[in-house]
């Protein structure tokens, strides 16, 4: 089978331009340079995780190291790109979720000595305010060698009840004629159910779907 890769003068020109032949670009190394990390949880995080499992048992789902952007979103991203950038590449230590729908109920942050730095304190203040605006409580626990289960339970169990978390106040609507989502303040779109028991019925769905799944009946 003839070699179809560029050669001769053409190959030299492509090389000078930094263009590799197609065959070279598609080549996959025999062994990819990835290895499993052994420090997914620090010793302090692993210790607290064990206490959380003991306190909550099978009554909650504990998710470690979760991206902030997977928990909250920015309304009207075009106008609030700066706020979106602030939560990008940020993580929280633990998220306690319900067992049935895996809905986040409370954020757990483990604060070691680095959180006393000015830059970390500023970061923590912003993260706490962002979650407060979204209606998600944050519990901060100082890093220790050992944790008392009773103390941890007193901090997190009040947030793991069946009571619905307090809803944040939505932004004021720009136009009174538009229907705005009571949860995030975004404009709601008139849609028609395509299937199910309510097929053919019209309803208002949040424009932020699926990040916000709020729906309202359409009174026509």
Q: Is the same domain home to 66 and 148?
A: yes
> Is 36 contained in some domain?
no
Per the structure, the count of domains in the chain is 2
**Tokens coding 133:** 């605006």
Structural domain ending residue among the three candidates 159, 192, 209 = 159
Angle at the Cα of 64 from the Cα atoms of 61 and 66, rounded to 5 degrees: 105
Tell me, yes or no, if the pTM score tops 0.85. Answer: no
The answer to whether the CB of 129 falls within 8 A of the CB of 90 is: no
> Is 86 contained in some domain?
yes
The answer to which of 2-11, 16-25, 76-85 has the lowest mean pLDDT is 2-11
Q: Which residue has the higher pLDDT, 160 or 50?
A: 50
Question: Residue 95 and residue 49: Cα distance in Å, rounded?
Answer: 11
> Is 1 contained in some domain?
no
Structural domain ending residue among the three candidates 159, 193, 209 = 159
Q: Is the same domain home to 89 and 153?
A: yes
Q: Which of 34, 134, 154, 137 is nearest to 87 (CA)?
A: 134
> Structural domain of residue 220, as residue ranges?
170-220
Q: Which residue has the higher pLDDT, 65 or 186?
A: 65
Cβ burial of 96 (10 Å; 0-12, 13-18, 19+) is buried
Cβ burial of 75 (10 Å; 0-12, 13-18, 19+) is buried
> Is 114 contained in some domain?
yes
Q: Is the same domain home to 128 and 83?
A: yes
Q: Is the same domain home to 98 and 70?
A: yes
Question: Residue 76 and residue 84: Cα distance in Å, rounded?
Answer: 10
Instruction: Provide the pLDDT for residue 48.
Output: 95
Q: Is the same domain home to 152 and 47?
A: yes
What is the average pLDDT across 107-126?
93
């Amino acid at each position: 089978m003839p070699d179809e890769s560029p050669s001769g003068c053409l190959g030299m020109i492509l090389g000078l331009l930094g263009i590799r032949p197609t065959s070279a670009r598609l080549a996959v190394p025999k062994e990819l340079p990835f290895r499993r990390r052994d420090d997914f949880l620090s010793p302090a995080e692993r210790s607290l995780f064990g206490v959380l499992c003991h306190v909550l048992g099978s009554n909650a789902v504990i998710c470690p190291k979760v991206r902030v952007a997977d928990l909250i979103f920015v309304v009207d991203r075009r106008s609030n790109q700066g706020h979106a950038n602030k939560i990008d590449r940020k993580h929280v230590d633990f998220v306690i979720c319900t067992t049935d729908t895996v809905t986040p109920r409370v954020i757990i942050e483990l604060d070691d000595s680095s959180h006393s730095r000015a830059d970390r304190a500023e970061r923590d203040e912003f993260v706490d305010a962002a979650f407060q605006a979204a209606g998600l409580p944050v519990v901060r626990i100082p890093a220790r060698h050992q944790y008392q289960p009773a103390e941890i339970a007193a901090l997190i169990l009040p947030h793991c009840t069946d009571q619905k978390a307090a809803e944040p106040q939505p932004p004021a609507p720009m136009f009174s004629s538009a229907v705005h989502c009571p949860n995030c303040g975004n404009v709601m779109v008139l849609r028609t159910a395509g299937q199910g028991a309510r097929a053919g019925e019209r309803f208002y769905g949040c424009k932020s779907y699926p990040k916000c799944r709020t729906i309202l009946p359409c009174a026509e």
